Chains A and B, each alone.
Chain A
Amino acid sequence: MATDIILFVILAAIAIVCAIAMIITRNAVHSAIFLVIVMATLAIFFLGLSGPFIAMVQIAVYAGAIMVLFLFVVMLLGAERVGAQTGMKWQVPIALVLGVILLTVAGLLLVRAGPTTVPSAATSSFTSQVPGACADDVKQVQSTGTVIGTPCLVGDQLFTAYLFPFEIVSVLLLAAMVGAIVLTRRPAESKT
């Protein structure tokens, strides 16, 4: 228990610091690196929250693919350094004020709202959606009383209850791919 708390505090601190750094630093590459560290931290959190599959996906997709893509573009555009803040200096204080308000509200809500423990759903009757799949995982869930986000179980959900969004999202990916290609295509030669 205590280890959880310590782990949490350390990881949270790292995440916060890196996030602040990411915002503040002038170098875009530095910014990207800091973001990667934040994402890694979050992956560990996911692990701790019984979401192994999601944690791995976070590392693989987010930190691995998306951030790499970012770094490619940064280096492509040579946007390492950007000049000092000019114009609209007033935006910063306002943003800070808004942030403070948001945090205050969130804090109030957290302090005053509901119990810290949430009654969990009974897992003795937990089954997979697809009959007969993920037998081992199901048994584990039923015995431990905790639902774990194993690949098999997540997939089970994905292909049954969330089938429609899944398909839509795949179409979305297709659209994004096509869009990216179209946007960066060189315009056709007009002469000769």
Chain B
Amino acid sequence: MSAEGFSVLYPYLIGLSALLFTLGAIGVLVRRNALILFMSVELMLNAANLAFVAFARALNQLDGQVFVFFVMVVAAAEVAVGLALIVTIFKTKKSTNVDDISALKG
């Protein structure tokens, strides 16, 4: 690996990040399975992490990487709670179809 690494490819990295993010967003909107929906959210977070690291490298700083660290921690916490929620809902609804959870329909 050269010292610059992928550094010269920042635009493409950012573009990749955008693409992954978009795909994650589409996934959130399209899938009905709660777990896959959740995984799409994780994909979005990862896309954001990529963008952070790319920019950190571009600016020759560490701040981006530190931030990625935090994002991961938060993602972990979020996954823990989210999955607990899904499990709890599954106990009552017996289904992971998010469309079944529409009690807040106005």
Contacts and interface: CB of A to CB of B under 8 A. Distances in A.
Interface of A: 1, 3-5, 7-8, 12, 15-16, 19-20, 22-23, 28, 31-32, 35, 38-39, 42, 45-51, 53-54, 57-58, 61-62, 65-66, 69-70, 73-74, 76-77, 79, 82-83, 85-88, 91-92, 94-96, 98-99, 102-103, 106-107, 110, 116-118, 120-121, 123, 144, 146-147, 149, 153-154, 157-158, 161-162, 165-166, 169, 172-173, 175-177, 179-181, 183-184
A66 B27 contact: no
Contact of B80 (A23, A35, A38, A180): A180
B contact face: mostly helix, strand, loop, or mixed: helix
B19 A16 contact: yes
Interface of B: 1-16, 18-27, 29-36, 38-40, 42-43, 46, 49-50, 53-54, 56-63, 65-66, 68-70, 72-81, 83-88, 90, 96-97, 99
B84 A184 contact: yes
B83 A99 contact: no
Given A117-B8, A183-B84, A73 B29 contact: no
